[in-house]
Chains A and B, each alone.
Chain A
């Protein structure tokens, strides 16, 4: 079945630095990928929709200059958390749908970001 690879799985960084998270569709092409954020014991909140070859669409309240999204190819989307602060510490998950068929969205394994 469809597989989405997300890296890194865990990262600890200092305040003020930037962190890049990668999301790859391994055996299918994804023109659209979604980035979610999950706080402990809470649901997934959609941050942005990543579109291949065009600008990402951000949800209300999500700072596009802080959470940079690049979707340069049909199999790769990246989320860069710029100038990270402790309040950015969270679990970030990407998802994609195989537009070539099948149903349901495949999720990456998530990235646990801790900003110290």
Chain B
């Protein structure tokens, strides 16, 4: 079945880059997503990547996909205190199937 794994914690200094890693098991995954969750709130879509892409950049966010190793990463450049949150990696087999989430990585930004 599908499984998504993430490290649980990451701590970085303000201004540094953050890299959050994710591995998944289902090679049929077509869409891969990164969501951000602030305390007590729902999930905010940050970015997504299709399985036929290797890299996608959107302002401070860069997503790298290594399909061979089934590894996805999210790099946040110039990390700010407002970036402190839980970041979820998620996969979907198609555009209409439910997402499978990792356990989330809690990012703490130290001023």
Q: Do A and B come from one complex?
A: yes
Residues of A within 8 A of B (CB): 6, 32, 34, 42-44, 46, 49, 93, 95, 97, 99, 103-110, 112
Residues of B within 8 A of A (CB): 31, 33, 35, 40-45, 48, 88, 92, 95-96, 98-104
Q: Is the CB of A110 within 8 A of B40?
A: yes
Q: Is the CB of A104 within 8 A of B33?
A: yes
Which residues of chain B are within 8 angstroms of A112 by Cβ–Cβ distance? 40
Which residues of chain B are within 8 angstroms of A93 by Cβ–Cβ distance? 42-43
Which residue from B35, B41, B95, B103 sits with its C-beta under 8 Å from A97? Answer: B95
A44 to B87, CA, bound (A): 12
Which residue from A6, A34, A42 sits with its C-beta under 8 Å from B42? Answer: A6
Q: Is the CB of B42 within 8 A of A110?
A: yes
A32 to B102, CA, bound (A): 22
8 A-B pairs, CB-CB below 8 angstroms?
A44-B43, A44-B99, A93-B42, A93-B43, A97-B95, A99-B96, A106-B45, A110-B42
Which 9 pairs across A and B sit closest by C-beta, in order of nearness?
Answer: A107-B43, A109-B42, A107-B42, A104-B45, A43-B103, A110-B42, A43-B101, A44-B101, A34-B98
